[in-house]
Amino acid sequence: MEAHLVWFVVTGLLFIGMALSGSAISRWPVTTAMLYLAVGVLLGPHVAGLLHLDVGTDAGALERVSELAVIVSLFTAGLKLRIPVLDRRWLIAVRLAVASMAITVALVATAVVVVLGLPWGVGIIVGAILAPTDPVLASDVQVEHPFDQNRLRFALTGEASLNDGTAFPFLMLGLGLLGLHDLGSGFWRWVAIDVLWATAAGLGVGAALGTAVGKLVLYLRRTHREAVGLDDFLALGLIALAYGIAIACHAYGFLAVFAAGLALRGVERQASVRTRQSPAELTERAGLSEEEAAVHPDKAPAYMAQAVLAFNEQLERIGEVAIVVVVGALLSPALLTWRALWLIPVLFVIIRPLSVVIGLAGAGVTRQEMVLSGWFGVRGVGSVFYLAYALVHGLPAPFRDDVVNLTLAVIAASVLMHGVTVTPLMARWGKKAADVP
C-alpha cells in the first residue's frame, strides 16, 4: 500500500476509535491525550516507523502546526469565560499567569544553570518554554461550559489562556541574552516593546476586534436578518484577523486571539438574556428554526456565541490529536537519561507548587484549591510551540539537545502523570466544592 494511503487508513482508524471510545474514556483514569501519545510512539521510528520527524530540521513545520493549535484553543477558552473582566475572580487567574509564571521561569532557569551548567540565556529559554500551562491538554481541569463559575476551574482556565502570551517576554529575554534578539541598552527595548507594548497591544487588538465583529454580526442579524449561517467562517475569520493584525503590530498574537474570544463572549453576555442552552436547544425549545434563532432579538447573541464555540471545540480536538501524536513520535530512548529526567520531579513537586503558593499568597483561596492549582500545571502544546520558536530563531546547536530533551520529557510526563490523576482528583473535588455564585 502506498504511503499516503497508509496514512488515510491510520488517521481514519484513530478518529473512529476515539469517537467510539470517548464515553468510556471519560470514566477511566486516563485522558485522550495519553492515548494520542501512545499512538505517536507506536507510529514513530522506534516501533512502526511510519512517522519520522526531526525537531531540528522540522522545527518550522512544528512551529506552524502548534501555533494553529494554540490559537484555536485560546479563542475557545475566551469564549468559555463568561465572567466580566472586572470581576474579582479574574485576580486569581491573573496572579497565576503573571506572578506564578515569572517565579516558575526564574526557578527553572536557576535549576538548569546550576544542574546542567548552561548559560543563563538557555536557562531562561527553558523556563519560558516550560512555565506556561496548556490550554489544549488542560481541558479536563478547565471550565466545562460558559456558565461554569467554579473558582478553581475558572482560575486554571484563565491562567492557561493568559500565560501562553505572558511567557513570550521571557522567551525573548532568553534569546536576547544569547545575542539572538535585540534587548536594547539597559534592556530598555525589552521592557518597552517586548513586555509593555506587545502585551497591551495584543490584548487591545483582540478586544477591539472581538467587540466590533460581534456587534456587527448581531446588528446585521437582528436589524437586517443578514449574515446568517456560516458561523464557522466567523470563528476562523476572527481568529486569523486578530492574530494577523497583532503580529503585524509587533504585539502578542496569542493574547490577541484570547482577548478576541473573550470580547465576543462579552458582547453576547451584554446583549442576551441568561441562557445555558446550546444552539439546538435554542431552536427546539423556542420552536424556531436555526435561521430564525440566529436573527431573533433575544436568541441571536447566545446562538452566535454557542455556534462559534461548538465549531471551535471540534477544531481544538483535531489540533490536540495532531500535536500529541507528533510529540509521541519524537520520544526516543535518549530521553531516558538523568539530563532529561531530573527536571520532571523538580518542576512538578517543588517549583510549580512553590510558585503557586507565592503567587496566590493572600488571595483567599482554600487549601484544597491551592493544592490542586499547584499540581495541575499541565504542560503541552504551548511548550511545543515555544520550543519550535526558539529553534527556528537560532538556538545554538550546542544547547539544542538538552533543551529539546528536557521539553519533550516534561511534556510526556505531564500527559501521563496529570492524565492519570485528573479524573479521580477533579471528581473528588467536584463532590466537595460548590460553585461560586
Residue 10 pLDDT = 83
For residue range 302-318, list pLDDT tens digits in order: 778 788 888 888 888 88
The rounded distance, in Å, linking the Cα atoms of 403 and 413 is 15
Classified as helix, coil or strand, 288 is coil
Determine the number of helices (DSSP H) and then strands (DSSP E) in the chain: 21, 0
Q: Which of 122, 127, 117, 142 is nearest to 352 (CA)?
A: 127
The rounded distance, in Å, linking the Cα atoms of 197 and 215 is 26
Residue 183 pLDDT = 97
Distances in whole angstroms, Cα of residue 28 to Cα of each of 23, 39, 259: 9, 18, 34
Stretch among 202-206, 390-394, 406-410, 423-427 having the lowest mean pLDDT:
423-427
Classified as helix, coil or strand, 274 is coil
Q: Which domains are delineated in the chain?
A: 32-130+150-432 (1.20.1530.20)
Phi-psi region of 229 (alpha: psi -120 to 50; beta: other; left: phi over 0): left
Residue 375, C-alpha cell as written in the block:
499540581
> What is the crossing angle of helices 253-271 and 151-166, to 10°?
140
Res 435 pLDDT > 50: no
Residue 276 pLDDT = 54
The rounded distance, in Å, linking the Cα atoms of 354 and 359 is 8
DSSP 351-419: IHHHHHHHHTTTS---HHHHHHHHH-----HHHHHHHHHHHHTT--HHHHHHHHHHHHHHHHHHHHHHH
Note the Cα 236 to chain centre separation in Å: 17
**In whole numbers, what is the pLDDT of the chain averaged over residues?**
87
> Under 8 Å CB-to-CB from 339, ≥6 apart: which residues?
116, 402, 405, 406
Quote the DSSP letter at residue 57. Answer: T
pTM of the model: 0.91
Region 62-76 average pLDDT: 93
For residue range 164-184, list pLDDT tens digits in order: 889 999 999 999 999 999 999
Region 134-157 average pLDDT: 81
For residue range 5-35, list pLDDT tens digits in order: 787 888 888 888 888 776 767 667 778 888 8
Region 362-375 average pLDDT: 91
Would the CA dihedral through 300, 305, 308, 314 be positive or negative? negative
Residue 86 pLDDT = 87
Classified as helix, coil or strand, 283 is helix
Assign 112 a pLDDT band (cuts: 50, 70, 90).
very high
Region 114-130 average pLDDT: 97
Q: Please identify which residue in the block is written with the cell numbers 484549591.
A: 369
Residue 264, C-alpha cell as written in the block:
465576543
Region 331-357 average pLDDT: 95
CA angle in degrees (0–180, nearest 5) for 319-265-85? 105
Residue 399 pLDDT = 96
The rounded distance, in Å, linking the Cα atoms of 200 and 193 is 10
Q: For the purposes of burial, counting CB atoms within 10 Å of the CB of 209, is it exposed (0-12), middle (13-18) or buried (19 or more)?
A: buried
Residue 30, C-alpha cell as written in the block:
486516563
More confident site: 153 or 200:
200
The rounded distance, in Å, linking the Cα atoms of 437 and 186 is 47
Share of the chain above pLDDT 90, in %: 57
Share of the chain above pLDDT 70, in %: 88
Assign 48 a pLDDT band (cuts: 50, 70, 90).
confident
Number of C-beta neighbours around residue 140 at 10 A: 19
Most confident of 7-11, 129-133, 295-299: 129-133
Stretch among 35-44, 108-117, 137-146, 416-425 having the lowest mean pLDDT:
137-146
Number of C-beta neighbours around residue 401 at 10 A: 14
For residue range 372-384, list pLDDT tens digits in order: 999 988 888 999 9
Residue 311 pLDDT = 83
Res 130 pLDDT > 60: yes
Region 186-194 average pLDDT: 96
> What is the crossing angle of helices 151-166 and 168-177, to 10°?
30
More confident site: 420 or 414:
414
For residue range 208-219, list pLDDT tens digits in order: 999 999 999 888
Res 226 pLDDT > 90: no
Residue 201, C-alpha cell as written in the block:
497591544
Region 153-170 average pLDDT: 92
Assign 402 a pLDDT band (cuts: 50, 70, 90).
very high
Which residue stretches of 249-299 are H helix?
A: 253-271, 279-286, 290-295
